[in-house]
């Protein structure tokens, strides 16, 4: 699971699923869903790569804009620009998605609502890898629906970039990045500032994030050091009920990855997250919660070649979470795991991976998570793949201990468990066309959700008896004759549960049953970078709604104007039940670059 920086990301705006590069392309490498970097076309899992690299960041405000390009990823925001955003994959609950930064965990043990409350500026990201389906054998708890891995890459030149913009709803944004590339080491300093007076009452926000990424090559092996801090105060009207609330979250993260020779890697990470919640913004004395969470994580990973076509991967991991809270109290828990996997590849056609993980947590309780995945090239144009795996999720501190006038936790909750199976095919009838399809089925037990018997009752954290999610993913990716790419994609889901039919569910019933989109990104006239995305979403029990966004930017020179449009259809919609989203949005500005100017990468 070592992050080996890809030599190229195929320069496509999206590489949906496993995308075998055409013969003239430079190889694309994937690191998520595998124990070591491998060519993307050899992955046995459904993995999406979203290229965030320099020339395309200017078309988006934050990382959630990229996540929305994959219809299997459900982004449930409570406001624009990643305000209290939940993310789920393949119909999973928001706590069932594991979020990583360069392979280190960012998930919040207090509540899954904070999993995307990351302190990472968009400027420091190179690409995002999305593993669809179970990942607990590799990563442990939380990877039930899938994994989102934010990946940064050492710069290859020294440069300074500043962009600034304004928009409706009082939007005011600045993005800064300072890059230094010297022999043996690199440094990337980035900062994002995003303010808004809000599109309606009590929906203002002030986002700030900064990070430092240091890469050193030498000594016993490569060293990567990551430091980041984030601060997000925001109006939270109706976020957790019919209350004019206010909230402020802060994040600190420090991580280091160290190679010890060619076969050993050591990782360590520290995360601190604080959450100040005020139920009535104008009367904080009525009800206020304060939470402070600290998380430590460490891992030792090794690999050993057993033969020409066989690799053994094994290692140990550990984590420790503690919280001090005005409503949760003081709690702590630790967990430790050992894993091993055999990876077999033969004749350039067959791949097989057999892995297992044993996790020990509170009171020496255990979770065993095996997996078997494989693939085969039927012909140079057609590849089949599939697998079966087990996943689990430990309850969050909020689900265990939280209580307020509208929600009550349960200390007796059991971990969620799930068995997942999938089968897929990738077909490239021509060098510029790639068609893909995947069917999947996930059986969960002890699924955790908040339920209530009536609208006047409080929400109570409860283990569902059984939950089944089945679905299909399909996409068509076309590299156009000019410098552009077109992607059509669709995900359909069906959820069944044997929980009591008279109970209302807070989260499990909000997933999209149909999500389809068309995305184009390319270059016009050799200088205008353009992207447009048209999508339609239907959530459980709701009317479908369309969303259309456009981004345009000058792709050359030291000064690059740009403009972004969101929700051009002016749709009235809610991603989180009861929380209205803004109507038509427009943001415009310019980017200034000082230092080495590299030409735009052609799709």
Block mean pLDDT (10 aa), the chain, length 603: 34 36 55 86 90 83 93 93 92 93 96 93 94 95 96 93 95 96 94 95 96 92 97 94 93 97 95 96 94 97 94 97 95 96 89 96 90 95 96 95 86 95 94 94 92 87 88 95 90 85 74 95 90 95 94 93 96 92 96 72 41
* Structural domain includes residue 600: no
* Structural domain includes residue 6: no
pLDDT in tens, 407-440: 899 999 999 999 999 999 999 998 889 999 999 9
Residue whose entry in the numeric block shows the structure tokens 């190889």? 27
* Structural domain includes residue 83: yes
Residue 256 is predicted with a pLDDT of 98
Residue 560 is predicted with a pLDDT of 95
Give first-to-last CA distance, the chain, whole Å. Answer: 28
What is the domain range of residue 200?
14-595
**Contact indicator for 50, 128 with CB cutoff of 8 Å:** yes
CB within 8 Å of 99: residues ≥ 6 apart = 87, 105, 106, 107, 115, 116, 118, 147, 148, 149, 150
Distance CA 449, CA 500 (A): 13
- Residue 521's closest CA among 57, 80, 126, 19? 57
CB within 8 Å of 97: residues ≥ 6 apart = 87, 88, 89, 112, 115, 142, 143, 144, 145, 146, 147, 148
Residue 597 is predicted with a pLDDT of 53
Provide the b/e sequence for 495-526 (b: ≥16 CB within 10 Å): bebebeeebebbbbebbbbebbbbbbbbbeee
- Residue 531's closest CA among 581, 574, 483? 483
**Contact indicator for 84, 239 with CB cutoff of 8 Å:** yes
Residue 425 is predicted with a pLDDT of 96
Could you give the residue ranges of the DSSP H alpha helices within 24-139?
54-57, 63-67, 136-139
Distance CA 422, CA 402 (A): 36
Q: How many residues does the chain have?
A: 603
Residue 284 is predicted with a pLDDT of 94
Instruction: Check which CATH number belongs to the domain holding 311 and give it.
Output: 2.40.170.20
* Structural domain includes residue 419: yes
At CB < 8 A and 24+ separation, what contacts does 500-506 make?
502/453, 503/451, 503/452, 503/453, 503/462, 504/451, 504/452, 504/453, 504/454, 504/455, 505/449, 505/450, 505/451, 506/449, 506/450, 506/451, 506/452, 506/459
Burial of 327 (0-12, 13-18, 19+ CB in 10 A): middle
Distance CA 566, CA 547 (A): 8
Residue 17 is predicted with a pLDDT of 39
- Other CB atoms within a 10 A radius of the CB of residue 7 amount to 9
* Structural domain includes residue 109: yes
Backbone angles phi and psi of 77, in degrees to 5: -95, 155
CB within 8 Å of 167: residues ≥ 6 apart = 173, 564, 585, 586, 587, 588
Residue 16 is predicted with a pLDDT of 37
pLDDT in tens, 549-595: 999 999 888 999 999 999 999 999 999 988 999 999 999 999 999 98
**Contact indicator for 566, 79 with CB cutoff of 8 Å:** no
According to DSSP, the residues that pair with 340 across neighbouring strands are 314, 356
Distance CA 195, CA 234 (A): 10
Residue 259 is predicted with a pLDDT of 95
Strands 528-539 and 512-524: antiparallel
* Structural domain includes residue 164: yes
CB within 8 Å of 522: residues ≥ 6 apart = 480, 482, 483, 484, 485, 529, 530, 531, 603
* Structural domain includes residue 5: no
Total domains, the chain: 1
- Residue 284's closest CA among 314, 242, 324, 244? 244
* Structural domain includes residue 46: yes
CB within 8 Å of 525: residues ≥ 6 apart = none
Could you give the residue ranges of the DSSP H alpha helices within 387-534?
397-401
**Contact indicator for 600, 529 with CB cutoff of 8 Å:** yes
């Amino acid at each position: 699971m070592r992050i080996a920086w890809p030599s190229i990301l195929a320069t496509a705006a999206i590489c949906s699923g496993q995308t075998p590069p055409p013969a003239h392309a430079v190889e694309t490498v994937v690191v998520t869903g595998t124990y070591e970097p491998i060519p993307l076309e050899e992955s046995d899992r459904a993995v999406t790569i979203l290229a965030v690299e320099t020339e395309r960041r200017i078309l988006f405000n934050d990382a959630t804009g990229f996540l929305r390009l994959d219809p299997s990823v459900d982004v449930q925001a409570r406001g624009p620009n990643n305000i209290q955003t939940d993310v789920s994959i393949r119909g999973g609950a928001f706590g069932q998605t594991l979020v990583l930064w360069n392979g280190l965990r960012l998930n919040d043990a207090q509540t899954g609502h904070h999993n995307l409350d990351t302190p990472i500026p968009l400027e420091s990201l190179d690409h995002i890898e999305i593993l669809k389906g179970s990942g607990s054998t590799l990563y442990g708890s939380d990877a039930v629906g899938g994994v989102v891995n934010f990946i940064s890459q050492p710069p290859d030149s020294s440069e300074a970039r500043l962009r600034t913009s304004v928009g409706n709803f009082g939007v005011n944004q600045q993005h800064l990045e300072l890059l230094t590339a010297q022999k043996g080491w690199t440094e990337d300093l980035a900062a994002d500032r995003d303010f808004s007076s809000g599109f309606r009452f009590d929906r203002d926000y002030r986002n700030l994030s900064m990070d430092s990424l240091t890469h050193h090559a030498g000594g016993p092996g490569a060293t990567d050091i990551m430091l980041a801090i984030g601060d997000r105060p925001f109006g939270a009207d109706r976020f957790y009920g019919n209350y004019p609330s206010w909230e402020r979250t802060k994040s600190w993260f420090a991580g280091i990855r160290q190679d010890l020779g060619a076969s050993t890697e050591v990782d360590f990470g520290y995360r601190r997250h604080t959450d100040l919640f005020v139920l009535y913004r104008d009367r904080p004395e009525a009800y206020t919660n304060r939470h402070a969470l600290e998380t430590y994580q460490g891992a030792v990973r090794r690999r050993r070649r057993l033969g020409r076509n066989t690799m053994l991967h094994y290692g140990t991991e550990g984590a420790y979470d503690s919280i001090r809270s005005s409503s949760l109290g003081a709690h702590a828990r630790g967990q430790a795991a050992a894993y091993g996997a055999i990876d077999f590849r033969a004749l350039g056609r067959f791949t097989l991976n057999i892995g297992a993980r044993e996790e020990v947590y509170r009171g020496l309780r255990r979770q065993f998570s095996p997996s078997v995945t494989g693939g085969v090239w039927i012909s140079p144009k057609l590849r089949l793949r599939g697998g079966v795996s087990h996943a689990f999720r430990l309850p969050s501190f909020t689900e265990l201990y939280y209580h307020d006038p509208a929600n009550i936790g349960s200390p007796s909750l059991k971990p969620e468990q799930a068995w997942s199976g999938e089968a897929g095919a990738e077909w490239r009838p021509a060098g510029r066309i790639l068609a893909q399809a995947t069917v999947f089925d996930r059986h969960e037990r002890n699924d955790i959700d908040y339920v209530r018997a009536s609208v006047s009752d409080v929400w109570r954290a409860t283990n569902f008896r059984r939950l089944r999610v089945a679905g299909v993913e399909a996409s068509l990716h076309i590299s156009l004759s000019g410098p552009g790419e077109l992607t059509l994609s669709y995900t359909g889901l069906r959820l069944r549960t044997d929980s009591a039919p008279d109970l209302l569910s807070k989260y499990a019933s909000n997933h999209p049953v149909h999500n389809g989109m068309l995305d184009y990104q390319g270059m016009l006239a050799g200088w205008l970078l353009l992207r447009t995305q048209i999508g339609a979403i239907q959530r459980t029990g709701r009317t479908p709604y369309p969303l259309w966004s456009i981004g345009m930017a000058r792709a050359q020179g030291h000064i690059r104007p740009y403009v972004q449009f969101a929700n051009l259809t002016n749709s009235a919609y809610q991603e989180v039940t009861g929380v209205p989203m803004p109507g038509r949005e427009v943001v415009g500005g310019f980017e200034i670059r000082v230092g080495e100017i590299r030409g735009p990468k052609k799709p």
